[in-house]
Amino acid sequence: MLSKTIEKALNSQIRIEAESSQIYLAMACWAEVKGLEGVAGFMYDQSDEERDHMLKLVKFINERGGHAHISELKAPNVTFQSFKEMFEMLFKHEVFVSESINELVHISLQEKDYATHNFLQWYVSEQIEEEAMARTILDKINLIGDDKGGLYLFDRDIQQLTVNS
């Protein structure tokens, strides 16, 4: 059985994951409109993954005697100055999500809720992967700089970076 404190904390994470999915969907649209099909496909996949992260939380809360709360979402930013800026925002967002997961882990220990603590370990590992992936992308983008040919190849290859989870 979840304590009210844990239920509330997990419910705010549902919203964060749902907003992440919307943010990445907006990035996918922007990339698609700019003609970068590879980047768009990659971002659509990221958006789907975030929805899965959200659903995992929804099911966990409901199965543990709580009630998952589906709330309104903040509208994401829909345009970007450049791909570099877009991926910088993605990286910053993942760091923010990691901080939020860490805080949840902290609360689960304070509440002595070891089932939730155990459940959250999946998110801890996921965030390590997602931050690493965002960092790899930024490194590549920094190498490319303003080179159009480089961007073309990057768009072609980015799908292979997708972390399956």
The answer on whether 53 is annotated among ligand-binding residues is yes
Identity of the residue numbered 113? D
Least distance (Å) between residue 9 CB and ligand OFO:
14
Least distance (Å) between residue 49 CB and ligand OFO:
7
The answer on whether 17 is annotated among ligand-binding residues is yes
Nearer to ligand OFO, 124 or 151 (CB): 124
Nearer to ligand OFO, 113 or 127 (CB): 127
Nearer to ligand OFO, 113 or 130 (CB): 130
Q: Which residue has the tokens 């965002």?
A: 134
- Burial letters for 126-149: b for 16+ Cβ neighbours within 10 Å, e otherwise? bbeebeebbeebeebbeebeeeee
CB atoms within 10 A of CB 22: 16
Nearer to ligand OFO, 126 or 155 (CB): 126
Least distance (Å) between residue 7 CB and ligand OFO:
18
80 vs 125: CA distance, rounded Å: 29
The answer on whether 110 is annotated among ligand-binding residues is no
The answer on whether 111 is annotated among ligand-binding residues is no
CB atoms within 10 A of CB 115: 13
Least distance (Å) between residue 79 CB and ligand OFO:
21
10, 57 Cβ separation under 8 angstroms: yes
98 vs 120: CA distance, rounded Å: 11
Residues near ligand OFO (CB under 6 A) are 17, 20, 50, 53, 94, 97, 123, 126, 130
The answer on whether 50 is annotated among ligand-binding residues is yes
**Residue ranges for the binding site for Fe cation?**
17, 50, 53, 94, 127
